[in-house]
Amino acid sequence: MDRRRFIATTLAAAAAGAVTTTSAGAAPLPTSGRPLFLGTYTSEPGGGTGIGLATYDEATGRVTGAGTLAGVLDPSYLTAHPSGRTLYCVNERSPGGVT
């Protein structure tokens, strides 16, 4: 199994248990916990549909799914701007890109 398939399978399994896609796109994140963003490979069989949204409770280690930001193709590496108002995403598509 190559790295891409391993990551896609692992994230798809995690997203299936933690994140629910909504028809309206993304559900708002809960106000408690740290925001958690999950990149998924949308082009892989059984892969995700975009950027998974969740929260992480540092005290308990619990991850709570909050929806999906659908329509972002093959998001992998994600990083937030220091202001916290912008999320950057590397799209692993040919020729590649940033959302």
Mean pLDDT of 40-50: 90
Sign of CA dihedral 57, 60, 63, 66: negative
Task: Check residue 42 and give its pLDDT.
Answer: 92
Q: What percent of the chain has pLDDT over 70?
A: 69
Write the DSSP symbol of residue 72: -
| Six-digit token string for 61 | 């280690």
pTM, entire model: 0.64
Residue 14 binned pLDDT confidence (cut-offs 50, 70, 90): very low
| pLDDT over 80 at 84, yes or no | yes
- Side by side, which strands form the sheet with 75-80? 75-80, 87-91, 97-98
